[in-house]
Structure 1
Amino acid sequence: MATSLLAATPFAAKATTITGPYVDIGGGYNLTQTQHMRDAEAEGGNGEGRLGHRHGWTGFGSVGWGFGNGLRAEVEGAYNWSEIYSKARGDKGSDRSYGGFVNVLYDIDLKRLFNIDVPVTPFVGVGAGYLWENMQKGAYSGGYQGGNGSSLKGTNGSFAYQGIVGAAYDIPGVPGLQMTTEYRMVGQVEDFGMGNIRADSGAAVRFDHRFNHQFIVGVRYAFNNAPPPPPPAPAVVPPAPTAARTYLVFFDWDGAALTGRSREIVAEAAQASTHVQTTRIEVNGYTDNTSAHPGPRGEKYNLGLSMRRADSVKAELIRDGVPANAIDIHGYGEAHPLVPTGPDTREPQNRRVEIILH
């Protein structure tokens, strides 16, 4: 038959393209066009006639492979039956054909190509193969011109081809299963090699090209139909911690009093703490490595001086509206200089308090 389609996916989801093996069966109505025929031994118009057809049916089965990109290839076995009818004489008979095709088909992914998300997949295809035709004794020839009617019988075969247009419909809740509807036009080259179909007179009968028009419904099952794994859940990335904001307040040598500019900086820090998510305010005091009390007492003196500077800044923050319990103060003396220097060096940038908003 011709077509295999996309492996079905659950209803109301995008149809997916077949990847791997599938099987396909179906059947339907077969309409054969009227054929012209003649005796192989006749001269001129003698022995010529028409072979008329009426109703018929067709059946097929195929196995195939989908390549995952819309293309499929399959091998098909087909059987066709047609009623032969002579309107002039009222005689009836039948013929049948059977054989196989190799088909190449393409499934049209509506979601990918046209952003149409429906459980339907149209397809097109072509096939080539060989059909044997058998005429039953009693099939009427339609009346030879210049002679009497004659019954036909015999079997012969010829090259055949077909064109396929159809669509597959996903079956809800049954992954891999689809219904199909399609139209096929089957052509058969019959003008050669048909000499073993003969009239009662024993004369070999030759036919012109044979065309079958077929309207088919079918069922297809794709074996590799497991739904694709769900996309991995997006990794939950915790928000990056807000970078701490630091404000620097500088002091005169050996001093802990705030200048006018220092008060402005403290006020900026207090205001910022109300506009950003602040969990803690750290106030750290420092000195340079000189001291008003040189000698062994100098380092201890500077440690105390750094605490006094931190206390001054804390008091100013409280005046600017920052809760006292939100402020942690530390004095580090000469440790952690902002600018590295040699010993006993007065460095203004090391005489500081850092206000850090966490």
Structure 2
Amino acid sequence: MRLRMALLATTLMAAAPAVASATTITGPYVDLGGGYDLTQTQTFKNKYNEDGINTADKYKVHHKNGWTGYGSFGWGFGNGLRAEIEGTYLRSNLDGNSSPNGGHTRGKDSSYGGFVNVLYDIDLKQFGIDAPVTPFIGAGAGYLWTQEHANFASGESFKGTRGGFAYQAIVGAAIDTGVPGLQVTAQYRMIGQPGSFRNGQFGFSAENGSTNHTSIDHRFNHLFMLGLRYAFDTAPPPAAPAPVVAAPAPLPARSYLVFFDWDASALSARARQIVAEAAQASTHVQTTRIEVNGYTDNSAAHPGPRGEKYNLGLSNRRADSVKAELIRDGVPASAIDIHGYGEAHPLVATGPNTREPQNRRVEIILH
């Protein structure tokens, strides 16, 4: 009992989550393993004719601890489903007070054959668990040959080999080892053989040398196993290329021109109308900054260097007039930057000391 509990605990510990992603099998794999076999107690029924009377004796046959081994080749479909062909071998010894008149039964019991299994790997990520463990469940059907050889305390013996249908249920977990494609498996299986040893297929040798007909009830094997599984195709599927998202093109700056009379910084009615349009536009588009740049033509009320200095001041006064009008139209003062450039950057190229109305301006730029 302690051995069975230890093996069951090993299976449960194998399913404990760790800190990596589990492997999904796609393509061919092989699986080899073995472990503990517990065969349930069986009833042997011996039918014979004695003195013209049909008689039947029942014998309880107990199985001692046994072992099992298996090997399989399978294919994973990449979506959790797997199919495999398995060869298996089961072995246990017989012991116990079995015969109707008491006494121990000695002998051996073994089965061998194959199964076709269908299994499903459970992706723990769908439950929010990212671990290197993959629980799985499955079922299989196949054919097993079983050999029984029992010697009863009465001196009678029972032996024979017969094959028949078998089925199994599977539950377990696979753990990634860190080696690509290699996993450790821990699993429990229950194998059943319904009526495979009925209908007089075994001979029972009695003390008088006669051979009678013997049948055995439904057989159950409980298996606790560890194994190694290797998947050949371990290359991860190619990641889908990340979509290329083009950076949004910056919005073009919008500009408005306000013109002034010669040697003046006061706004005309038309100039106030243009400033109002600029102020309204700044509330309808995503504006991060408003530039207000003042300019003059290259004529001056005072000639020479003194005139250039005068024009620079005049351009700043024109920019200040436009800023004040923008603020009156609801634009925050903190959003406005003003600059005066004097005679620099003319809109229209002219000769020296020329009065040009288009160069006497303020440019409002919405960024």
TM-score, structure 2 normalization? 0.67
Say whether 1:187 aligns with 2:192.
yes
- How many residue pairs match? The answer is 291
The 5 A counterparts of 1:200-239 are 200-201=205-206, 202-230=211-239, 232=241, 235=244, 237-239=246-248
Q: Secondary structure, in 3 states, of the residue corresponding to 2:125?
A: helix
2:151 matched residue in structure 1:
140
> 1 CA distance for matches of 2:96 and 2:73?
38
Q: For structure 1, which segment, 43-52 or 97-106, has the greater mean C-alpha deviation from structure 2 after superposition?
A: 43-52
Please name the residue that 1:116 is paired with: 129
Match of 2:116 in 1: 102
* TM-score, L = length of structure 1: 0.69
Pick one of 98, 104, 109 that aligns with 1:90: 104
- The alignment yields a C-alpha RMSD, in angstroms, of 3.9
Q: What do residues 133-182 of structure 1 show as CA deviations (whole Å, max 9, x unaligned)? A: 0123xx235x6xxxx352222211110000011111111x2121111111
What corresponds to 2:253 in structure 1?
Answer: 244
* Structure 1 residues 223-271: Cα deviation after superposition (integer angstroms, max 9, x where no partner): 111134455456464353133133354789xx9973156258559969x
Q: 1:73-107: per-residue Cα shift (whole Å, max 9, x none)? A: 11000000011113353342111000000011111
Q: Distance in 2 between matches of 1:315 and 1:242?
A: 30
Q: Which of 335, 338, 344 is the matching residue for 1:322?
A: 338
Give 1:199's aligned residue: 204
| Paired residue type of 2:164 | S
1:265 to 1:95, Cα distance in 2 relative to 1, 3 A: same
Query: CA distance change for structure 1 residues 44 and 107 in 2, over 3 Å: closer, same or farther?
Result: farther
Contact (CA 8 Å) 1:135, 1:153: kept in 2 or not?
A: yes
The structure-2 alpha-carbon separation of the partners of 1:20 and 1:283, relative to structure 1 and needing over 3 Å to count, comes to farther
Alignment match of 1:154 (pick from 152, 160, 176): 160
- Give the counterpart letter for 1:22 in structure 2: Y
Q: 1:13 aligns with which of 17, 20, 31?
A: 20
State which of 39, 42, 53 in structure 1 corresponds to 2:63.
53
Check conservation: 2:114, 2:142, Cα contact below 8 A.
Answer: yes
Which stretches in structure 2 are left out of the alignment for 5+ residues? 1-17, 297-313, 324-336, 350-360
- Give the Cα–Cα distance (whole angstroms) in 1 for the partners of residues 55 and 362 of structure 2: 120
For the residue of structure 1 that corresponds to 2:347, the secondary structure is strand
Deviations, residues 23-74 of structure 1 (Å, cap 9, x unaligned): 1111010000111111243677633211211110110001111111111111
- Distance change (3 Å), C-alpha of 1:93 and 1:12: same
Superposed displacement of residue 13, structure 1: 2.6
Q: Offset at 1:330?
A: 2.2
SS of the residue aligned with 2:195? coil
Q: Superposition pairs for residues 264-343 of structure 1, below 5 Å?
A: 266=275, 316-317=318-319, 320=323, 322-324=338-340, 328-331=345-348
| Aligned equivalent of 1:38, options 31, 45, 50 | 45
CA distance in 2, matches of 1:278, 1:16: 54
The percent identity for this pair of structures is 53
Partners of 2:175 and 2:119 in 1: CA distance? 16
Q: 1:20 to 1:67 in 2, by over 3 A?
A: same
- SS of residue matched to 1:322: strand
Deviation at 1:323, TM superposition (A): 2.5
Match for residue 76 of structure 2?
A: 66
Contact 1:94 1:135 in 2 (8 A): yes
Compute the displacement of 1:190 (Å): 3.1
Cα distance in 2 for residues equivalent to 1:284 and 1:22: 81
Return closer, same or farther for 1:268/1:283 CA change in 2, 3 Å cut-off. farther
Distance 1:122 1:283, change over 3 A: farther
Counterparts of 2:46 and 2:25, CA distance in 1? 49
Taking the aligned partners of 1:190 and 1:149, their CA distance within structure 2 comes to 27
Q: Secondary structure at the match of 1:175?
A: coil
The one-letter code of the counterpart of 2:169 is G
Q: Which residue of 2 aligns with 1:127?
A: 140
Contact 2:93 2:106 in 1 (8 A): yes
Deviation at 1:192, TM superposition (A): 5.0
The one of 257, 262, 269 equivalent to 2:271 is 262
Q: Residues 251 and 280 of structure 1: is their aligned pair in 2 closer, same or farther, counting only changes over 3 Å?
A: closer
- Asked if 2 retains the 8 angstrom alpha-carbon contact of 1:99 and 1:130, the reply is yes
Q: What's the secondary structure of 2:34's corresponding residue? A: strand
SS of the residue aligned with 1:330?
coil
